[in-house]
Amino acid sequence: MTRLLIAAILLWSVPTPGSAQPMGEVFETGNRAYFAGDFQQALESYARLSEAGVEDADLSFNLATVHARLGNYGEAIRYFERTLRQRPGDDGAEQGLTAVRTALGRRLAEARGEALVQTRPPFGEALVRPFSQDLLAWLVLAFDVLLFGVLIVRRRLLGETGRLALGIAAPLLGVLLVLAAGGLAIKSGVLIDGHAAIVVARDATTMREGPDPRASARGEAAEGEHARVVDQQGDWVLVRLYGGREGWLPADDVGVI
């Protein structure tokens, strides 16, 4: 416990790269700037922490909020999604995500006359959305130990009643193990190519056949759209949008969750 406390204190006071300012102070600076209405300054402070390797749900939430205040709705969606990945079920992030998607839809509709904003993840991801990857991993491990523990005990057990009870428990635990393992596979993304990402370019960005601005256009990707980054060449990334559309986009136009 003492070691943990010391580690936490050290971590809090570790200076960020490029400056001697501890991380806690940088965070406070960002907060003060936000409450003073200087969203750009707040964004820079939070971004410094993110670049320094901080991967914390509260920092992601603040980044999302500041981006939303600045009108960067794609980035805001990206960081709200990241918050939910780091802390599933975060009410504030869920509400922020809804608010930003609504605002984005309104802005796109004003610009184009109509807009379709994706609000729900695919079915499989929606099922495991409330659970963290670590929780699912622990569940898999627990059911694994229980299942094979039951099988081992059953081999040693002589009483018929006990054997019958464990014989019923074993298939149930097997089903739970399969469900938890399936959820873990979906959550960790091992079943799908690439990394989850969000199109963050303001307005629409053109997808191309190859990683070159002169390549033929393949269509458009709208701000806030969900995507999977499946390849990268230089400053270009190959993305696959929900619905199967695929094409190359400038790497700056896409943010990995």
Binding site for another protein (CB under 8 A): 8, 11-12, 23-24, 27, 30-31, 34-40, 42, 49, 53-56, 58-59, 61-62, 65-66, 68-71, 91-92, 95-96, 99-100, 102-103, 106-107, 133-134, 137-138, 140-141, 144-145, 147-149, 151-152, 155, 184, 188
Which is nearest to 210 in space by CA: 234, 226, 193? 234
CB of 51 to another protein, least distance (A): 12
Those residues with Cβ within 8 angstroms of residue 225's Cβ, 6 or more apart along the chain or in another chain: 118, 198, 199, 241, 242
93 phi and psi angles, rounded to 5 deg: -65, -40
CB of 100 to another protein, least distance (A): 7
In the sheet that 195-199 helps form, which strands lie side by side, from edge to edge? 217-221, 205-208, 246-250, 236-241, 226-233, 195-199, 254-256
Q: Which residue has the tokens 């079915």?
A: 123
Min separation Cβ 8 and another protein, Å: 8
Smaller CB separation from another protein, 45 or 205: 45
- We find the least distance from the C-beta atom of residue 94 to another protein, in angstroms, to be 10
State which residue, 62 or 211, has the beta carbon closest to another protein: 62
Q: Which amino acid is at 251?
A: A
What is the amino acid identity at position 241? Answer: L
Min separation Cβ 195 and another protein, Å: 14
Closer CB to another protein, 184 or 229, in the complex = 184
Q: Which residues fall within 8 angstroms of residue 183, CB to CB, at 6 or more apart?
A: 127, 128, 131, 136, 139
Question: Are 63 and 77 spatial neighbours (Cβ–Cβ below 8 Å)?
Answer: no
